[in-house]
Amino acid sequence: MKLGVYLIWAVVAVVAGVFVLLGYFTSLGIFIELRLVLLRWAVLLAAGGLGIGLVNLASVHLAKVSEQEPGWPYSGVLIVFFTFTLALGLFFGPDSPWTLFVFRYIHLPLESSLMALLAVALVVAGVRLVGRRRDLLSLVFLLTAILVLLGTGPWLVFSKSSTHVGITWVRAWVVQVAAAGGARGILLGVAIGGIVTGLRVLVAADRPYGN
Amino acid sequence: MFDLRGLLILAIFLATLLTYAAYRGRRTTVFRKLRGFEELGRSIERAVEAGERVHLSLGTGSVIGSDSGPALAGLAVLSRMAMATSMSDKPSVITAGDGAMMVLSQDSLRTGYQQVGESTRFQLSAGRMLGPTPFSYVAGLPAVLGDEGVKVHVMIGSFGAEAALAADFGERNGIFVLAGTDDVQAQAILYAIASYPLIGEEVFAGGAYLNAGPLHHASLSTQDLVRFLIVAAILVGTLLRTFGVGV
């Protein structure tokens, strides 16, 4: 019985994958239409997945609150605002001024402030890198970062000095030649890795949908 | 009618992958040392012995987007991780920023436990969605890492700049952090922040290094072969252009 169920899942995944893939390599209308239909179904399923994810989010934090696990007050705050935002969306609609107010004046500033924390985290990481990994690559990484920072904007003084002009030129070379070349190499590796990973799912060797 | 060139490239990819998998028994595959994956095995063993938790982050990418690749690689690591931690007092926790990815993580975790005959230890709450946007996901991480006794923090999935905070939370807790993503800029950030960063295609190599199956080994061999072919093609093309051939 288990084998049968697993085979059905695998066949559905493989057939859907093959048809979607063929839709990219042909101009035949039937394959393109089929690809679009399957993609629409996938979008619908993903939306369903989001709903399940939200239920999971609420249930995990509700359990934390009810069992008073470490950090439960934060879970309580999450549950309150989760319910509040959900109620706003359900009663007034996603485009209502109230819902938009929450997103514009609470959600976005909070996410922006987390984004701002990135700069601090990066500076601290740079300092820690010196102490943690004392090798040539780390030194090159740090020196390049400092060089790029120095060459990116004008200086408070000596902005027109030959040193600044030289650093700006070196920065341009690093960014346009060395970094761009390296990034392309990394992207090629990532693209090949992504294709092979997709093929493993396509031949049902990897079955993320379980057995 | 058909893009034969694209189909041919895909067929070559597939044929190489299957050939390497078929001949795996007859040839020995030697992988270069990746400190991150070597240390991951030891860290998981230590965590299991000490009754501490292992956390896998599948990132903020969705299942249907082009950013699903690294998360699928993360799921391959997950099944091995589930098997390794099945005897632990504290089951592994998997977090994702996408609901469908969370469902897949639960299925992979359940399969991992089933394969070692410990299916009763599976808990649905072990696979979680922390938040649907990158930063809401990251905002939920400190609670998981700090309050639930996590000692191994593995990030294999699609991350953007938020990877910096996700890795930094782990480093601040003084725990093992292995992190990789498909985004080049995020990789640079992770190089500076994570103790064990995965660069380039290393993010897809977890399954092979953790012995997830013959096709994972074949994948790495295929990747190497295709990469060599591309490098050779670039070099030949550069030389031809340099000497004015085909200009």
CA distance A98 to chain B (A): 20
Chain B, residues 155-194, CB within 8 A of chain A, namely 161-162, 164-165, 168, 171, 182, 184, 187, 189, 191-193
> Cα(B29)–Cα(B220) distance, rounded to whole angstroms?
9
Q: Does domain B23-211 have CATH number 1.20.1250?
A: no
Measured from the Cβ of residue B121, the count of other Cβ atoms closer than 10 Å reads 17
**Residue B62: predicted pLDDT:** 85
HSE toward the beta carbon, residue A111, CA cutoff 13 A:
16
> DSSP strand E in chain B: where?
53-59, 93-96, 127-129, 150-158, 176-180, 196-198
Chain B residue numbers with beta carbons less than 8 Å from the beta carbon of A53 are 96, 98-100, 102-103, 129, 132
Q: Nearest residue on chain A to B68, judged by CA atoms? A: A194
Per-residue model confidence (pLDDT) at position A101 = 93
List, for chain A, all residue ranges whose pLDDT scores fall below the cut of 70: 1-4
- Tally of residues, chain A: 211
Closest in B193, B215, B227 to A121, CB measured: B193
Q: Could you give the CA distance from residue B65 to residue B154 in angstroms, rounded to a whole number?
A: 22
CB A94 within 8 A of CB A86: no
Each of the 247 residues of chain B gets a pLDDT tens digit; together they read 778 888 898 898 899 999 998 887 677 778 888 999 999 999 999 999 998 999 999 998 888 877 888 999 999 899 889 888 888 888 899 999 999 999 999 999 998 898 888 888 888 889 999 998 998 999 999 999 988 889 999 999 999 989 999 999 999 999 999 999 999 999 999 999 999 999 999 999 998 998 888 889 999 999 999 999 999 999 999 999 999 887 6
- Specify the pLDDT at position A3: 61
The DSSP code sequence of A55-104 is HHHHHHHHHHHHTT-TTHHHHHHHHHHHHHHHHHHHHH-TTSHHHHHHII
CB contact under 8 Å between B108 and A210, yes or no, is: yes
